[in-house]
Amino acid sequence: MTRNHMTAILVGVGLLVASGTIVAHHSVSAEFDTSKKLTFTGSVKKIDWGNPHIYIQVEAKGPDGKLVVYRVEGGAPNPLYRSGIRPASLKLGTIVTCTNCSPSKNPASPNVNGRLTLQDGKPFLSATPDAN
C-alpha cells in the first residue's frame, strides 16, 4: 500500500470518528418544547456534574400541585467552570426558581431547560443559548 493510500484511509477514519461527535449534539428545540414555558420554585435535591451537560434536580410543585423532581439542564461543565461556576457553587437544599423553562417534548420526562435564580435574585444558571 502506498503512502497516499494510507493517508487517505487515516483521513477517512478520522472523519468518521469526528462525524459521530458532530451528529451526537442536539439543539434545544430538538429535545424541548420551546413554545411552552414553566416557572417553578423548589429545593435543589441533586447535582449531576458531567458531560455533555450538567443537570440540577429541583423538587417543586408541578402544574397539578403534586411534587415533581425536575431535571434542569445546564451547559457543559468546562464553560460553566470557566465562568466561575463549580460543582460546590450550589448546595443541596438551596431554594431556586426556574423561570422561562421549556419542558421536554416527552411528557413523561422531567427534563426542562431554563434559567435558575437564587433566592436573593442572583442568576445562577442561564438557559442554553438557542432556547429562546
pLDDT tens-digit readout, 72-116: 998 888 988 888 888 888 999 999 999 888 999 998 999 999 889
Burial class (CB in 10 A: 0-12, 13-18, 19+), 127: buried
The pTM (predicted TM-score) of the whole model is 0.73
**Cβ contact 56:47 at 8 Å:** yes
Sketch out the chain's domains with CATH numbers: 28-131 (2.40.50)
Bigger pLDDT: 8 vs 119 = 119
